[in-house]
Amino acid sequence: QKTSVQRCLCKGEVNMVRVQRIEKIEVYPASPSCDNVEIVVTLKNGAGQKCLNPESNFAKNYIKRAIKKR
């Protein structure tokens, strides 16, 4: 069984981020280097980044709503 070297970005994940603090969301589909989806949220005002649990309701609802708003 080929043991693939995993280079996932996220170590720990939060289940929620206050929407007003979000500057950008990056979604990394599963890939050879990391076999699960990863979501990295960049916070406003240089407050850094957080990994968001893709399974969290927040991730599912917020991202869906974000791409609907026009």
Q: Binding residues for a copy of itself, per CB under 8 A? A: 19, 22-31, 36-37, 39, 54-55, 59-60, 63-64, 66-70
Please say whether the beta carbons of 41 and 49 come within 8 A: yes
Least distance (Å) between residue 55 CB and a copy of itself: 6
Chain centre distance of CA 7: 15
Name the minimum Å distance from CB 1 to a copy of itself. 20
Closer residue to a copy of itself (CB): 1 or 55:
55
